[in-house]
A and B are shown apart, each in its own frame.
Chain A
Amino acid sequence: MPSGSFAAQCGSTLTENNWLRSWTNELYLWYDEVTDRDPALSTTPDYFALLKTTATTPSGKPKDKFHFTYATSAWLALSQSGVSAGYGAEWAVIARFPPRRIVVAYTEPNSPATAAGVNLARGAEVLAVDGVDAVNDNTQTGVATLNAGLFPAASGETHSFTVRDLGASTPRTFTMQSANVTLTPVQNVAPITTASGPVGYMLFNDHIATAESALITAIDTLKAANITDLVLDIRYNGGGYLDIANELAFMIAGSGPTAGRTFEQIVFNPKYPTTDPVTGQALAPIPFHTTTQGFSVSSGQPLPALNLPRVFVLTGTGTCSASESIINSLRGVGVQVIQVGATTCGKPYGFYPQDNCGTTYFSIEFKGVNAIGFGDYTDGFSPGNTAGVAGTLVPGCSVADDFAHALGDPAEGRLAAALGYRMSTTCPAPSGFAPPSVKSSVRSALVPEADDGLMSKSPWRENRMLRR
């Protein structure tokens, strides 16, 4: 029976499970890989967990890594673009279990994290939160205190922190109050002087609405500097609006390789070869946008373009979704992409989240393929010299995140490797995801495989990062 026959009939586990069963069969991308089980035998959360493919990728990882729910009340929450409660410090949890290692990946300007008296900066290591040892405490109450302090639920919360700043020999303690912080999605835009001409750098962290105007300003700035190459730092960019990725891809490549070409084609399961089953619209290839799409700039304004034949991208495990679309779409039209960093998350997929009875379900419904029909990068994109199991290989260098240098500093490990590769097409020894200050002999016990620092930005990841 169609899912509509069971929708919004709450209170009966069987009816809710029947809705999930039908909805999955209608829209799940791999519906024909789901084992049909009796919906009367499981709770609704357990039943939903079973409604996905159990297939694995060539690397041996689950084919479907993005199957989750939200309380509908949380999913419906809105915010001013880029505004959320927090400190304006992005924590990179390099080791989740004791001895933990939590460092500042980057900060937001005009935020509690960068206010006088706090002055947090990349590389600062968190040693204690509200008096709890952040490195070693593994009690239930201790971990709860750490999570509550690191990830405040609302503005106006005050917590104490003990940190050791980069290069400092002694720790310091301060209090920080959470606030509704406005993200600055594009930061550190600057040309870097090299012997072979200026190279542009930009840190692009979030595909939010305000990024549209910020990216245009950044491209204008770098274009005025007559850059000859671009290093796009998306190591912490978990995605967002696909149109923003589309605009940036055009602004990098210009109209030469993109005119009349496909940025991305959305593909649903074989039941819907020509029509988006949710919107009812015809499935047509999405062209590269040459004008603004009305996110934070009025629609229809011509986009500037750098007209570059190649781009260097700095990536990490947090590089996900719309960020990966930039890589894939440019490769699809013959723009050379050189990847420096770690394997990306591998999410060519998307959802139309669906509410039923107070729970919003996320089940993969479509994937994006580029102009040459490629979209199978479930294992992520990996720099060409990545050691061991890798995803789709892209020319470039496997380089660990370097928390000992500021982002945009030409000496920072990934940026330095990109600049070096540009000159000699050679890489340093592959270091993959390994944090430089964690000894490799103990790393495997402390750090999840292929993880160079979990960030708390992505909804498919835990809001509460630390576990006992």
Chain B
Amino acid sequence: MARESDASSVIRLRTLALLLSGCASAQPDVAAVIDKPTKESRAELAQAVSSALNGAPVTLADDALTRDSLLIIERAHLSGRDLDKPEHFRLVKIGKDCALVHERTGKRTTLASTTCVPK
């Protein structure tokens, strides 16, 4: 009995795993770029980056994430012999939503005012 119970538990777990992976595969992350940047979308992007990095002010190019899904953020003033590394963000499309993913932490921020297309 115990073995049957264990086996059925394994089957249930596998079924659950398949269901979860099925859900995930239905909404995969797709690398994306912003297709119609606006004043609102630029402000939203800057706010998302700033929030992910302890609220520090950030300067972005007007065409940020319009040609590449990777956004690299570094100090506005490098000191000349810098031992640290920049921060990386990726824009992804998940279904109809655009989200910014902070690579170091995995934190996702949905960009509600931004439209994007797969890159």
Contact = CB atoms under 8 A, between A and B. Distances in A.
Interface of A: 70, 73-81, 83-85, 179-182, 207-210, 238-243, 266, 293-296, 320-322, 325, 347, 349-351, 353, 362, 368, 458-460
A351 B79 contact: yes
Interface stretch (B12-20, B21-29, B60-68, B93-101): B60-68
Contacts of A74: 76-77
Contacts of B56: 76-78
B1 interface: no
A78 B80 contact: no
Nearest to B89: A80
B72 interface: yes
A84 B57 CA distance: 13
Nearest to B80: A321
A80 B75 contact: no
A78 B53 contact: yes
A320 B77 contact: no
Contacts of A368: 81
Given A78-B49, A78-B87, A240-B80, 9 more contacts: A74-B77, A76-B57, A77-B56, A77-B57, A81-B73, A83-B64, A296-B70, A321-B79, A460-B80
B85 A350 contact: no
B59 A78 contact: yes
Given A76-B57, A293-B85, A368-B81, A81 B62 contact: no
Contact of A208 (B49, B71, B78, B81): B78
Nearest to A244: B82
Contacts of B83: 242, 266, 350
Contacts of A73: 57
Nearest to A353: B79
Contacts of A83: 59-61, 64
A364 to B, nearest CB: 10
A330 to B, nearest CB: 16
B86 interface: yes
B86 A239 contact: no
30 contacts: A77-B75, A77-B76, A78-B57, A78-B76, A78-B87, A79-B58, A79-B76, A80-B59, A80-B64, A80-B71, A81-B72, A81-B74, A83-B59, A83-B64, A181-B61, A182-B61, A208-B74, A208-B78, A238-B80, A240-B82, A241-B82, A242-B82, A296-B70, A321-B81, A349-B81, A350-B79, A353-B79, A368-B81, A458-B80, A459-B78
B97 to A, nearest CB: 23
Given A242-B83, A243-B85, A294-B85, A80 B78 contact: no
